[in-house]
Amino acid sequence: MINPDLTVKISSLTLKNPVMTASGTFGFGLEFANLLDLSSLGAVVVKGITLTPRQGNPGPRIVETAAGVLNAIGLENPGVEAFISDILPELLPHAVPIIVNISGNTLDEYGILAARLNETGVSALEVNISCPNVKEGGLVFGTVPEQAAQVVAAVRANTRLPVIVKLSPNVTDIVSISKSVEAAGADAVSLINTLLGMAIDTTKMKPVLGNVFGGLSGPAVKPVALRMVWQVSQAVSIPVIGMGGILSTEDALEFIMAGASAIAVGTGNFVNPQATVEIISGINSYCSEHEVNLKDLVGMAWEAN
């Protein structure tokens, strides 16, 4: 039995373990502070932040599906200035790396957000490229390699923080997207964001969600997420953060063996607020039992294929 090394390095950022929270499922972290020790986590990824406050989509916003959840929150948030002045000062004393998920409608907005967060004490930025480019008729940035690369370049030019790019699964070739953002300066990629879906109320004979479409997350998306992590991690040289239906240590280990250097728990936080700390303990026990360090397990399944 050994005391395994679970650390993960993402550019200049070192995480004490590979377990993070997925943006949009953990609030700003403070909401969970009385349920678990935030400092025990690898990192807290806060909900999406935009340049100005957003009220989000009309309700209903969330509906359960078979083995998953559909959400159409619409990036409701107080805006970057309120986050910096009102929320971040309460979050930083918890001594856990804070990663801020940012979303913009234009390249300029991404650049401004990156610059504004640069000297605030946050540890890294996660760039949500699943946003519509309003200057291109609403085409989603993350579905076109060239546009995804432009977003990353705009962020990279305005920050010294590590840049993590969150990839959308709603594309025909996620590998080409991952390569384009790596070339543009991304320090890591995280995947997957939610799959686009919908639900219909047969009594009311209309869509359940007020926005009609929503993002599907939870165990239902895990096989898709695992496949994409496998593909992307073998195509890029930067770390991959895997997410999508991780509820247990076994789930997390699958992603790590598929090539993920770290993982993020999302919908699982709703089911079990202690899921993250339980998974950290489980990974530690697994590595100790098998006398390996975390890095030894990353991509382990490639060799067996």
- Is 287 among the residues known to form the active site? no
DSSP the chain: -------EEETTEEESSSEEEPTTSSTTSGGGTTTS-GGGSSBEEEEEE-SS-B--PPSP-EEEETTEEEE-----B--HHHIIIIIHHHHGGG-S-EEEEE--SSHHHHHHHHHHHTTSS--EEEEE--SEEGGGTTEEGGGSHHHHHHHHHHHHTT-SS-EEEEPPS-SS-HHHHHHHHHHTT-SEEEE--PEEEE-EETTTTEESSTTSEEEEESGGGHHHHHHHHHHHHTT-SS-EEEESS--SHHHHHHHHHTT-SEEEE-THHHH-TTHHHHHHHHHHHHHHHHT--HHHHTTHHHHH-
> What would the two tokens of residue 242 be?
């895997």
Catalytic residue (one of 99, 100, 131, 265): 131
Residues classed as catalytic: 131
